[in-house]
Every structure is written in C-alpha cells, then in structure tokens.
Homo-oligomer: A and B are copies of this chain.
C-alpha cells in the first residue's frame, strides 16, 4: 500500500466525488468502494472517515438520512445543493493539484 501520508487533505474530495456519482452512500460503503476502486491501495480508516463525514455535514455539504437494514444502523449521506456546487470546485482543484504534482515529479509528461 502506498504512502498514506500523501492522501492527507484529499479525503473530503474523495467522499464528495463518490457521492456525485452515487447519489447516496453510507460510511462503510464508502470505505469498501474506495478499496475496490484503488485495488486495495487506499484504505480509508474509520477514525478518518466518520469525522470527515460529520464535518461535511456540519458545513452544509451533505445531508444525512438514517435507515435500519438487516437490523443494523446505516447513515446514508447525499450531496446538498451547496455540496454539489462545492464538489465541482473541489474536483477542479484536485485536477489542478494532480497536474502540478505531475509537472514536478515527472516533468517530461507535463
């Protein structure tokens, strides 16, 4: 697994991107989806995920909806209107960041 330290700062953007694609997701589902998408390269820990979801909710970017499935609690998150707008801008920033880093570490492919 790669250097987890590098992912510092990108968790919120990852969550927002997944919710843009999937309409609504719950926390555990997000961790599994990311693991699957990255072939196990990135493992989001619960200690990072849940506080991040709570912060996005507190910032008005996500709405939450509680459900019971198979006698277990689930909290489904979805983008608010504001969250949808913010996702567009966060993704633009992320792509700019990726281009910039590519320029630095691999100038020939920039």
Candidates B3, B9, B91; contact of A5 at CB < 8 Å: B9
For the complex, is A95 an interface residue (Cβ under 8 Å from B)? yes
Number of interface residues of A (CB under 8 A): 33
* CB pair A95 B100 closer than 8 Å: no
Q: Is the interface of A mostly helix, strand, loop or mixed?
A: helix
* CB pair A104 B9 closer than 8 Å: no
A79 to chain B, nearest CB (A): 15
Closest to A94 in B: B105
Q: A54-67: contact bitstring with B at CB < 8 Å (1 yes, 0 no)?
A: 00000000000000
For the complex, is A32 an interface residue (Cβ under 8 Å from B)? no
Candidates B17, B101, B103, B107; contact of A104 at CB < 8 Å: B17
